[in-house]
Chains A and B, each alone.
Chain A
Amino acid sequence: MNGQNEEDLALSRRAASGDGGAFAMLVEKYEAPLRSFLARCAGPDRADDIAQEAFLKAWRAAGQYDGRARYSTWLTRIAWRCHLDQIRRTRPPAVEPEASCSLATDEVQDMVSRLSHSERAALVLCEGHGWTHAEAAELLAVPLGTLKSTVARAKAKCRDLWTGGDRA
């Protein structure tokens, strides 16, 4: 277990014993990457609701975090399940580009919105958030080989869209 995991495990154990301040530190640490991931996967409108639900579940299950995986991996897994549950409950509209984002972000949001849910998640985690293929494969519950091909396929689709745009 590395130092980061030990620190997060200590905070999570304090949270499990009812220390709201310790949990607030975890929320501060991980809200930005989680919301960014969810904004790409579920759309900016639903990202905050799913993130809140995920943090609430993480608070309830704080005692279950054992420090073997990174806290961000554990938390993202909870959020991903919340996202999948929401997809099952309702048929959400397609992920739209953010109205207030920069040109590059707008462009990439448009590309990402054309991918499937698992392609989106795999691409964002492995390319943008620096996750290993093994971590992303565990999150998406797919074999490592499948995950690698999913990332490659998603990247190829984005590249096609990118080269097919203004740069063609």
Chain B
Amino acid sequence: MPDEFDSFLKQALAPPPGEADRAFVARVQAHIRLEERLASERRVLIAKLWKELVAVAAIAGALVLLSRSPVVVEWAAAAPALAVSILLLAFCFVVAIFSAGSGARSLA
């Protein structure tokens, strides 16, 4: 049979009655929204990273193929300065394209 102490303990340890704490619920919802937004941004960034990796691999593959072509090798041997200049221009073009992409993302 419950005595005075049992009743006291049950009453004191029971969860508080009454309405839900709206401020707490709002805080949890805000956390969830933030987490959803971060997760979606993370997914977009990972997708972009993969695309950029594939693009870099494609460019590198194309350069390797070009460098193996006898016509290109012959021409580069005849005019090495021009070949290096063209390579540098191509490199700057690629860097500019990737920088523009990153800048647009950070602005968004």
Show the binding face of A for B, using Cβ within 8 Å: 20, 23-24, 27-29, 31-33, 35-37, 40, 48, 51-52, 55-56, 59, 104-105, 107-108, 112, 123-124, 127-129, 155, 158-159, 162-163
| Complex CA distance for A155 and B13, rounded to whole angstroms | 12
Contact A23 B32 (CB under 8 A): yes
Return 20 A-B CB contacts under 8 Å, by A number: A20-B29, A20-B32, A23-B32, A24-B29, A27-B25, A31-B25, A36-B15, A55-B31, A56-B35, A59-B35, A104-B8, A107-B12, A112-B13, A127-B13, A128-B12, A128-B13, A128-B15, A129-B15, A159-B5, A162-B8
**Distance in Å from the Cβ of B37 to the closest Cβ of chain A?**
12
- CB-CB contacts below 8 Å: B40-79 with A: none
Q: Provide the bound-state CA to CA distance between A128 and B8, in Å.
A: 10
Residues of B within 8 A of A (CB): 5, 8-16, 18, 20-21, 24-25, 27-29, 31-33, 35
Partner of A32, one of B8, B21, B29, B35: B21
Structural contact, A36 and B16, CB atoms closer than 8 A? yes
Main secondary structure of the interface of B (DSSP, over half): helix
A52 to B21, CA, bound (A): 13
**Cβ–Cβ contact A127 & B10, under 8 A:** yes
* Cβ-defined partner of B13 (8 Å) among A59, A129, A163: A129
The answer to whether A104 touches B29 (Cβ under 8 A) is: no
Closest to B34 in A: A56
